[in-house]
Structure formats: C-alpha cells, structure tokens
Chain A
C-alpha cells in the first residue's frame, strides 16, 4: 500500500533505498522495477511492506507498458505491477478480494491451492461466468489453511502475460520450523511474442522452439556408439511416438526470458540476509510452461513444505519444481558473501537467477548450465515398464554396455519403483493399500537431465507428512486416467479426448474416498492440478503420504493419489502447462 508514494518519488535509487530503510517504507522501487513485494530485505514481522495485506484487498487488472529485462513490453499488470503484488492473508480470516477488470477482454483470478467454495474458485465456465471488462467481482471465502500459494488468471493465455502473483497465508499456530527472515521467489517465463502466436506456432509446426533437434552428425555418432540396427530401432520408436527425443520442453529459452520476481538473470534480483540468519525461501513456479531445477551453490536447502503443506524436513542440494508447484526451503548462510540462486530450466535452454547476499549489488559465480538431456534412455525405461514390448525385440541388449552411461541420467535402476521384487501391501479386493506406491511410479527419481549421484536432489519419495491427514479410509474405488497427446498436431488430452470432445464431467460421489491413477502415455512431464480438493500423493509413505495440489507425472509414469470428495460442486482438473490445457488437457470434476 505504501508503494505508490515511492514510485512517484523524485529521488535517486540510492536515496530511495536509504530513505526506505530509515523510514521503514518500502524500498522495492530501489530495484527500479516492480513488483513491490520483491523487496530485497524480504519480510520480517517488524518490516512488512510492498504487500497487499488481507483480509480486504482490491486488485485492478490492466494491460500496460512496463519494462521487462529493460525492454519495452506490454504485460498484464495487477495494481500496476507484473507479476502482481503479494497477497498476504492470515489463517482464520474471512478474505474479501475485489478484482476489477480494466482489460478489454474478460478475466479471472484463481487462488491456486486454496480450499474454498466452488463459486470462489475463479475458473470461467466452471465456477463462475468470469469478470467482464469494466466489472468488479468480489471473492469471499474463509481462509482455512496456511502456507505458500499463488494466484493467476484462468482465462485464455493471460497467465503467460504476467497475470499471476504470490499468495502467502500466515499460520494461526506455530509452524514446524523457525526462521529469522523470509523471501518469496516467484519463477515465471516471459515471452516478448504474442502468446497466441506462440500457441499457433506450436500447433502448426512441431518442435518450433526446439533448436536442439538431433542432426545427421548425431545420427552417425549414435551409429558408432550403438550400432546401425539399434539406432534405426530407436529412431523409428521416436517416429512412432511422433516426437523428437530432444523434446524436453515444447516452449524454450529461444523465446522465453526466465524471471525471478519479475527480474531477468542480468537484472539479478537481490534477496538480502544477515550472516547467521536462518532464511525461509518460498519458491513458487508461476511459469506457463517451464520446469526448473533450483539450487544455491554453497548452501544446503532444507525442504520444509511442499504445495503449502508442511513436510518432514529434507536437506537437499537441488530440487526440481514443476509448473504450479511450490516448495518452502530453509537456508542458513553463515558467511558474509553472495550466493547465486540458480533456477535452470529443465530443458537446459536457459535459467532464472537471483542472488542471496548480505548487501545490495553483490553477485556470485553463475554455475555452468548442464547439457541438454536426451529422452532416449528414459524412453526405453518407459517401454520396459510395460508399454509395448514388441518394439523392443531385435534390440541387442548386450550393446547397451557400450553405451554412454552418463546419458542414463534419471534411470537409476535401484530406484525403479515399478520393477518387480518390491513387496507391496495389497488388500483382499486386490487394490493396493492406501499410501502404497503404484507399480510404474518412479518416485525415487527426480527426472530427466538429473544425475542422481551428482548431488542430493529432492524426489517425491522424500515427501512425508508429520501426521496422517484426517481421512484415514481406504479408497472405495479406483479411477484411471491416461495422459495422452499427439505432439505433431499439438493435441493434448485425457484418455485420448480433448476437452471439446468429452460429453460430461468426471463424477465423484460426495464424500467418497477414491484413488485417482494417472498414467502418462506421452513423452513429456505433465503437472496435473485438481481444484477444490487435496490429492494425497501415494509415494509409498503409508499413513504419512504428503498432500499436494499439483502432481508432476513423468513420461511413462503411473502415479496415484487419494482424494476425499468432500467439496460439492464443479471443479477444474487439468495439466498446468498452459498450452497443453488450452489444447484440451482439461476436464471438469463434478462432486455430487
């Protein structure tokens, strides 16, 4: 709320900064750019600023000229910042959020990860009619949870234009960790292209943003390494799947500028700390299409929450964050030095970067980006996991010993949850017991492009709740959904049907306990998001399985979650890759 004074202040950056610190007003303008909550000193109880504090908040949505990475851009702004302001609520409040649409098209805000009445969920056509130009919609709901969340438009491709922001809910009771300072790190992917033309490019030309396609030189290298027969076999396998083995992401750094709190790697946003402090980083992946691998060379990060929910602490060196996921980590920088916060895009086509530093303007070394991963080996593990084995005949496995095992990242056989030999608890009706990992799941792996032995990387299997979630019932039924797609025609769907082709919603019986099984038949990761209800990820942790709002499903993987269908009404269920959702990977779940 103090922001506007500062932006209009005719002071130099340095003066604003000094004044800001002395007077206790926001110093976000010191960075020269919004959003205001990305204030380098973060948040302490004595020093909150640049925040829209609840329970009553007003937000105005505009399209306006704001610089991004120093270049002219026309993002969607929320209260004149893009990404939008941080909304800070308190558990137990009744939130009143007034959203005014000053665009010339309808808009909406979805409060991602919040459990609320269906009419307040903000999905046009599912929960409400949307917000027409010139109109104000008032969201009212009780805040019954705490943690790190975010909000974004659920209309068209507006999210790609910066229509998103962090949503932080302070806990009513003591959290299972303590810290001296906190920072929000919102990761986004910005394009200077018109998002609709990005979508058109994807639809008209497969691999449009992929400049890492295999070449003739690669083919000869493969043949030298693998022999002619295997190379031809692998190539034809890819051709059958209508994909290139280097399609790690379908929109890449060739168009994207990856941002942290609205700032490019060159702008190097600073998160400040005092040596010896314990710092909480609330990391949100608010990007449209990009997964990131996040690390801070020189610091161990202790993961304490996933998707806003506390988990038993896991010290790691790196974590992969899927689109729409959030992770809270604690770091304890003891030395008077700068540390690079490095968020490498999963396809290695670029990175977002900020610096954790004791003073403004510092920087540390930027790690080298890793090589582009190749889906080849992972694809084979998928096939071994029960897909089409007939294609594998004629492959001489003895040759595999000659292959370059460094390419086998993400394929740690000791970790293959899907392989035989592991005993799982089964019930009399043949269903797996609650909390057991599905055969075909790979919760022990971080995924493509991660070498398991290089450093300690968070995996889904690490996530463990402190206490069991309230509903301890075994699932009454199983619902299987296949994640399907045709990359060449850029069609994405559930069970082979685009949203425009399905006849009705997926039905959940009110108050039933069910198991949702997701089988990824495609060669890409999909972050699957259910609105209105938690998904308890059955990662093998039994009673202590974690609950999430967004599940990353790796290529070929089979994952499951338990759901208590206690939220009557219609809810969106979709892949959170924006263009996949718009291409049809979307369903409505009806609880009645």
Chain B
C-alpha cells in the first residue's frame, strides 16, 4: 500500500511539470493525416524493435516541437511514452500490477487511466504512429520508454537530453 501512495505522488509530480508545457498527442486513432496541419520544427524517426529503440538517445532543444514517427519493426506491440525516470518507473509498476492482478491487457492503460497525461502512443507490430510533442523548458533529462511488462527491463528505453 505504501508503495502505491508513493507512485501516485511521483506521478502527480511529473504531471505537474509536463502539463505546464504544450504538447499535442496525435495519431492515437486514425487521425494522423491531421498532423500535417500542425507546426513542428522537425521530424525524428524512431524504430521500436524487440526489445529496443533506435536511436537509443536524442538531443532536443527546450521549447522545440518535434514530430516522432515511430515504426514498430518487432513482433510484439510496443508503446512510446515520454516522461522523467520516476514517472516511467511509476507507470511501469502500475502496468505490472495490472497484468499480475486481473489480466487486463496492459498497454491501453498507459494512455488513459494511469499514464494519464504522459505523452504516449501504442504501436502494433508493423505499424507506424506519430506523436507531436513540445520539449519543456525547465527539465534537463527525460526518458522515452515502452512500459509493457518486461519491455523496459529488456532495453526499451532511451534518453532525451534537453
């Protein structure tokens, strides 16, 4: 129980930093066409494999708006979630709890209930999804990760240097 409160605490802290910045999350559904109407500074292509991201780290200017094109070249479903290390960990532990508890498929949890405000997108094997995101001004380091149980631990994480 104690860890539960701790997780909530960490999560709300990280939400605090993220929600103050403007980020837009598109491409969850089939609306990725609309992306072209949006203003972004550059596109970063990301490959999500089993169990890695390529590139393994990236540098983004504070305030820069980036469109990520994430292609899942693996055999399993993956997610691409941006957040600080603690928020990623909290998110991961919750998803782990989900699968150990009563068998919800994990990934959609990331976006709705718990990942809450963490910019995130789920990508099925073979698909490409986009995510537009503006880097915050007041943070030095963030992580991108896949928090489906076991995926982060196997190597699906990368660093964003701001």
Interchain CA distance A467-B49 in the complex, whole Å: 13
Q: Is B138 an interface residue (CB 8 A)?
A: no
Q: Which residue of B lies closest to A467 (CB)?
A: B75
Identity of the chain B residue whose Cβ is nearest the Cβ of A179 in the assembled complex? B155
In the bound complex, residues from chain A placing their C-beta under 8 Å from that of B74 are: 466
Residue B51 at the chain A interface, CB threshold 8 Å? yes
Residues of B within 8 A of A97 (CB): none
Tell which of B100, B149, B154, B155 has the most Cβ of chain A within 10 Å: B154
From residue A17, how far is it (CB to closest CB) to chain B in Å? Answer: 31
Chain A 436-477, CB-CB to B under 8 Å as 1, else 0, gives 000000000000000000001000000000110000000000
A315 and B149 in contact, given A178-B52, A466-B50 (Cβ under 8 angstroms): yes
Q: Does B96 reach chain A (CB closer than 8 Å)? A: yes
**Interchain CB contact under 8 A, B52 and A312:** no
- Proximity string of chain B (39-56) to chain A, C-beta cutoff 8 Å, 1 when within and 0 when not: 000000000001110000
Pairwise interchain contact A456-B155, C-beta atoms closer than 8 A? no
- A368 vs B50: C-alpha distance in the bound complex, in angstroms? 38
Residue B61 lies at the interface, judged by CB distance under 8 Å to chain A: no
Known: A178-B52, A330-B154. 15 other contacts (CB 8 A): A176-B51, A177-B51, A178-B51, A178-B154, A179-B155, A278-B153, A278-B155, A302-B154, A304-B154, A313-B151, A313-B153, A315-B150, A330-B153, A466-B76, A467-B75
Chain B 137-162 residues near chain A, CB threshold 8 A? 149-151, 153-155
- Give me the 5 closest cross-chain CB pairs, A-B, nearest first: A313-B150, A178-B155, A302-B153, A177-B154, A176-B50
B133 to chain A, nearest CB (A): 25
Q: How distant is A457 from chain B, measured CB to nearest CB, in Å?
A: 11
Residue of B nearest to A314 (CB): B150
* A242 close to chain B: CB less than 8 A: no
Q: Which of B75, B100, B149, B153 has the most CB of A within 10 A?
A: B153
A-B contact list, 17 entries, CB within 8 Å? A178-B51, A178-B154, A178-B155, A179-B155, A278-B153, A302-B150, A302-B154, A304-B154, A312-B150, A313-B153, A315-B150, A330-B153, A330-B154, A332-B153, A456-B100, A466-B50, A467-B75
Task: Tell me, rounded to whole Å, the shortest Cβ–Cβ distance linking B101 to chain A.
Answer: 11
Least Cβ distance of B61 to chain A in Å? Answer: 26
* Chain B residues with CB below 8 A from A179, complex form: 155
* Chain B contacts for A278, CB-based, 8 A: 153, 155
Question: Are A313 and B52 in touch, CB under 8 angstroms?
Answer: no
Question: In chain B, what residue has the closest Cβ to A456?
Answer: B100
B51 touches A313 (CB 8 A): yes
Main secondary structure, interface of A, reads loop
| A464-495 vs B, Cβ < 8 Å mask (1 yes, 0 no) | 00110000000000000000000000000000
- Chain A residue nearest to B85 (CB atoms) is A334
| Chain A: minimal CB distance from B111 (Å) | 21
In the assembled complex, the CB of B104 is this many whole angstroms from the nearest CB of chain A, namely: 16
B interface, size bucket? 10 to 19
Mark B64-76 against chain A: 1 for CB-CB distance below 8 A, else 0. Answer: 0000000000111
Per-residue 0/1 for A211-243: is the Cβ within 8 Å of any B Cβ (1 yes, 0 no)?
000000000000000000000000000000000
A304 to B74, CA, bound (A): 16
Q: Is the C-beta of A63 less than 8 angstroms from some C-beta in chain B?
A: no
Residues of A within 8 A of B51 (CB): 176-178, 313
* A74 touches B (CB below 8 Å): no
Query: Which residues of A line the B interface, CB within 8 A?
Result: 174, 176-179, 278, 300, 302, 304, 312-315, 330, 332, 456, 466-467
Alpha-carbon distance A278/B76, docked complex (angstroms): 22
Q: Find chain A residues with CB under 8 A from B50 CB.
A: 176, 466
Give Cα A79 to B96, complex, Å: 45
A468 nearest CB neighbor, chain B only:
B75
Contact bitstring B97-133, A, C-beta under 8 A = 1, else 0:
0001000000000000000000000000000000000
| Alpha-carbon distance A338/B65, docked complex (angstroms) | 43
Complex CA–CA separation, A332 to B155 (angstroms):
11
Q: How distant is the Cα of A135 from the Cα of B101 in the complex, in angstroms?
A: 58
User: Within 8 Å CB of B150, what residues of A?
Assistant: 302, 304, 312-315
Q: Smallest distance from the beta carbon of A542 to chain B beta carbons, Å?
A: 14
Residues of chain B with a CB closer than 8 A to A313's CB? 51, 149-151, 153-154
Q: How far is the CB of A282 from chain B (nearest CB, A)?
A: 15
Q: How many angstroms from the CA of A330 to the CA of B155 in the assembled complex? A: 10
Assess A177 versus B155: contact at CB under 8 Å? Given A312-B150, A466-B50. Answer: yes
Q: Mark B17-59, 1 if CB is under 8 A from A, else 0.
A: 0000000000000000000000000000000001110000000
Residues of B within 8 A of A332 (CB): 153
Most buried by B among A300, A312, A314: A312
CB distance from B113 to the nearest CB of A (A): 20
CA distance A113 to B75 in the complex (A): 25
- Minimum CB–CB distance from B36 to chain A (whole Å) comes to 34
- Please name all residues of chain B whose beta carbon is closer than 8 Å to the beta carbon of A467 when the two chains form the complex: 75
Which chain B positions have C-beta within 8 A of A466? 50, 74-76
Look across to chain A and name the residue whose beta carbon is closest to the beta carbon of B92: A315
- Shortest Cβ distance from A303 into B: residue: B150
> When A176-B50, A467-B75 are in contact, do A315 and B96 touch as well, CB less than 8 Å?
yes
B52 contact set on A, CB distance < 8 A: 174, 178
Kindly state the separation between the CA atoms of A556 and B46 in the bound complex, as whole angstroms.
Answer: 50
- A526: shortest Cβ distance to chain B, in Å? 29
Neighbouring B residues of A314 by C-beta, 8 Å: 149-150
A176: B residues at CB distance < 8 A: 50-51, 154
Q: How far is the CA of A178 from the CA of B75 in the complex (A)?
A: 17
Please tell me if the beta carbons of A300 and B154 are within 8 angstroms of each other in the complex. Answer: no
A318 to chain B, nearest CB (A): 13
Query: Nearest-CB distance from A506 to chain B (Å)?
Result: 35
Nearest CB in chain B: distance from A304 CB, A: 6
User: In the complex, A178→B53 CA distance in Å?
Assistant: 11
Which residues of chain A are within 8 angstroms of B76 by Cβ–Cβ distance?
312, 466
